[in-house]
Structure 1
Amino acid sequence: MTLPQETDILVIGAGPAGLAAATILAKTARVLVVDREATAGGIPRHCGHYPFGMREFHRLMKGPDYARALVERAVQAGVTIATRVNVVQLEPGPLVTVTSDAGLSEIRAKIVLIATGVRESSRAQRLIGGEKPGGIIPTGALQGLVYLEGRRPFRRPVILGTELVSFSAIMTCLHAGIRPVAMIEPNAEATARWPAALYPRLKGIPLHLSTSIRAIEGRERVERVIVDGPTGMQAIETDGVIVTGKFRPEATLFDGSHLEKDPKTGGPVVDNFGRCSDPAYFAAGNLLRPVETAGWSWSEGVAVARSIEAGLTGKLPAPATQPVTLKGDALSWVVPQRISVPSDGAHQRFQLRVNRKVKGRISARVGGVEYASLSIDTRPERRISLPLPPTAQPVEIVLEAK
């Protein structure tokens, strides 16, 4: 298709958050969604298992069915979706430069919503040594090969990680007749909540806790991994490694742009309305932080769409200037990072995470006075939330670990 040179709303990313926002906004504005993939729908297209769709469609759905339903709903609402479009530059205006089959072009919009999601950390980012054979892939690639291409990339892989996506990797393997030989977790407990940790055992997959992969060996293909655990070093014979979790926002568009990036989340800095440092740009979904469910991202897309609607009619307050600071080395990040005048913004509460297992008390303070607190006993990748302040003032969030 020929891309328009102008639109009211440009949405970058055709996953749950982007499609949810586009569907809402199309009722009153021209909305163009662009995505670099050949098919819209985001990560759920790769997830051929339940559960998706309860809050959006009020029924259980498999990922591909859910993704198709989101796309169909958006198209019926009047959204224009263009796939195989790569965004290469974000500029004030807002002005966005893209490449497509038609070549290089520019799109001007009144508002740009960025909803590019997340990606898993690679082997290199995890500093796993050894040789570089074939057969080392993240969960997303595994799901694409199995569900989209009908391929079986290996038969006896090792799974690294115990986040929710790690158990999704098990489901994908079993769907394809692949039998994982081990699940490896560097921490002493599984990251995902109980009873998820029972799942590998129920499927006959050994779960090795307090164990790290030190090296991956093999010439053309993976042949074994060397692990270091409670009983010392050992070799596990395998023909593949699935590197799961440790998500990072897909925020490369912000590098070299005029938009502020948060070094803690790896995504953009936003206020409680979802506005970036340039208020003509908004952000939603897992781009904001790693990582939440598709349903959570969808809800966030709907909420940010309401903020954008208010922005189009001049009903949003001035952009935020009041910062949020974290105290306590176990606190990993917070979203939103700025506070505007409190009202019905896209974010009604702070979202936080810790970087290790921790027990203690977390409190939110304005001017040194505590206005909210919570006792926690939690692990990384588990959601923590606190209410926003009653007034638009600098906020300090403090974690006192026991």
Structure 2
Amino acid sequence: MDAEVPEADVLVVGSGPAGLSAAIALRGLGVARVVVLEREDTPGGIPRHCAHPPYGLREFGRLMTGPTYARRLVAQARAAGVEIRAATSVTALHPGGVVAVTSDAGPATWHARAVLLATGVREGTRAARLIGGTRPGGVTSTGALQGMVHLAGVAPFRRPAILGTEMVAFSAILTCRAHAIRPVAMIEPGPRTVARWPAAALPRALGIPVHYATTVAAIEGGARVTGVVLDTPSGRRRIAADGLIVSGGFRPEASLLAGSHLARDPATGGPEVDAHGRLSDPAYFAAGNLLHPVETAGWCWHEGRRIAQSIARGLRGALPPPGQGRILLSGPLAYATPLRLSDPAGAALDRLILRMARPARGRLSLRVAGHEVAGRSLSARPERRLFLPLPPADGRAVSVVFDEGAG
């Protein structure tokens, strides 16, 4: 087929670990034309910006930095016969796998038998955190910081504060240390570090104080940040800093879904999918952090490979028909994936993945027609995966309940 004809068996939107691993797997499953669209000039996704390990252990059996890992995935995709089109932005998703794009060559409309959305996540902004004060230079997300220092060779500050203690905040520390930037503090609104041990030991080892149960009330400065005002348990205080890294607070990069015909998960803003990774329009699938903000690159790589199997089955007409209904959530649950009910036989997403909106202790319960079919008592925290078996899709009402205080 002429490479310039805008038709594909599978069109993949996004060239991070989920998108590339799916594309490679699809070629291995015999899918003839797989095209990856990437809006940035260079494919590889977020790992390109993270010049530190650990990447690649699950995928390649060795530890790598993010850029090395990204290059390896891209090379593997091209060797498999995947077409990668960088500097190409998707502008609209239409029913039946029709995708509008634009690039230096101008606008085009692609027709695909199936479309995989693997656009990942974005960090929460200062505005989303309702942080007041002035608007000086030197306020950035971790992703933007990594782009500046790793890709452009620019250090935007020397002594910033870091808001958040998710894993990405510790990635920010490593990025800073590699470029002679010395964070002055970490600020965590919750009562403890969000990231798992041993990441939580890193600030102490580096002499970075961590302020718990603390929020950023305001940012001070004119052209540049000069200080950060904190609301702490003991009152308001100011710390001197020349920048603020606003880390974490991830949301799916789901802007393409706005105004589209595809159903969205009201909890995350990402797409609603069934156990086969299929959206409300069965020509569309999704994988990676677009579904669950946020998992590791290795997790997304693995999930992309599994969703590729669903897509290949769909191209052969071997997937069960889309189901009806969705799982209802109750209690302090942030989200569940998958949310749409479908026949779980041969499912790519073979378990329910859940996250908490806040720390809680109680009983997590999967209920079908009001009766518990699976559950356990636990103490749960945000950013920890919780699992339940997939429910049946037989027309009965399905809910997941976290009953606080229950044993």
Q: Which TM class, normalised by the smaller chain length?
A: over 0.9
The percent identity for this pair of structures is 56
Deviation at 1:3, TM superposition (A): 4.8
1:150 aligned residue:
153
Aligned mate of 1:232, from 231, 235, 238:
235
Aligned mate of 1:331, from 314, 330, 333:
333
Equivalent-residue separation in structure 2 for 1:50 and 1:144 (angstroms) = 16
Counterpart residue type for residue 294 of structure 2? V
The superposition leaves residues 53-108 of structure 1 with CA deviations (integer Å, 9 ceiling, x where unpaired) of: 11111111111111111111111110000000010000012110000001111000
1:351 aligned residue:
353
Counterpart residue type for residue 378 of structure 1? A
Structure 1 unpaired stretches of 5+: none
- CA 1:3/1:175 → structure 2, altered by over 3 Å: closer, same or farther? farther
Equivalent-residue separation in structure 1 for 2:343 and 2:392 (angstroms) = 9
Relative to structure 2, which stretch is displaced further, 153-162 or 142-151?
142-151
Aligned mate of 2:140, from 113, 126, 137:
137
Equivalent-residue separation in structure 1 for 2:158 and 2:344 (angstroms) = 54
Equivalent-residue separation in structure 1 for 2:242 and 2:221 (angstroms) = 9
Counterpart residue type for residue 369 of structure 1? H
Deviation at 1:346, TM superposition (A): 1.0
2:366 aligned residue:
364
2:168 aligned residue:
165
Aligned mate of 1:75, from 78, 87, 103:
78
Map 1:33-112 onto structure 2 (within 5 A): 33-112=36-115
Deviation at 1:285, TM superposition (A): 0.4
1:119 aligned residue:
122
1:246 aligned residue:
249
Relative to structure 2, which stretch is displaced further, 21-30 or 161-170?
21-30
Equivalent-residue separation in structure 2 for 1:45 and 1:254 (angstroms) = 25
CA contact (8 A) 1:339 1:394 kept: no
Is 2:194 the partner of 1:187? no
Equivalent-residue separation in structure 2 for 1:215 and 1:197 (angstroms) = 26
SS of alignment partner, residue 75 of structure 2: helix
The TM-score, its normalising length taken from structure 2, stands at 0.96
After superposition, the CA RMSD in angstroms is 1.2
Equivalent-residue separation in structure 2 for 1:3 and 1:73 (angstroms) = 22
Write out the 4+ residue segments of structure 1 that deviate beyond 3 Å after TM superposition: 1-4, 390-394
CA contact (8 A) 1:2 1:102 kept: no
The superposition leaves residues 210-250 of structure 1 with CA deviations (integer Å, 9 ceiling, x where unpaired) of: 11110001000000010011221111111000000010000
Equivalent-residue separation in structure 2 for 1:229 and 1:162 (angstroms) = 16
1:16 aligned residue:
17
Relative to structure 2, which stretch is displaced further, 78-87 or 24-33?
24-33
SS of alignment partner, residue 220 of structure 1: coil
The TM-score, its normalising length taken from structure 1, stands at 0.98
SS of alignment partner, residue 323 of structure 1: coil
2:263 aligned residue:
260
Relative to structure 2, which stretch is displaced further, 197-206 or 11-20?
197-206
1:6 aligned residue:
7
2:388 aligned residue:
386
2:378 aligned residue:
376
Equivalent-residue separation in structure 1 for 2:258 and 2:391 (angstroms) = 31
